[in-house]
Amino acid sequence: MHRFRLTLVLATLTLAAVSLSVGAGAAPLAYVPNEKSATLSVIDTATATRIGDIAVGQLPWGVLIR
């Protein structure tokens, strides 16, 4: 079950990175897990604002900055 969840989170992050980037000049993004709501918040690190949330399943963990 843990391996499936990790695979799901990694696949979702990959999809989010592809769909949210707007080109080479795109601002760096941070993906922050919200365990209780089972989502990842997408943060524009250049402006420190939340762009949105991505549903990822139960208990996401870890942080990715791209």
Distances (CA, A) of 56 to 24, 25, 46: 26, 27, 24
Q: Delimit the domains of the chain by residue range.
A: 2-65
What pTM did the predictor assign?
A: 0.54
Digit-coded pLDDT (tens) for 5-25: 777 777 677 766 666 555 555
Burial class of 60 by CB neighbour count within 10 A (0 to 12, 13 to 18, 19+)? buried
Question: HSE of 66 in the Cβ direction (CA atoms, 13 Å)?
Answer: 19
Mean pLDDT calculated for residue range 55-65: 78
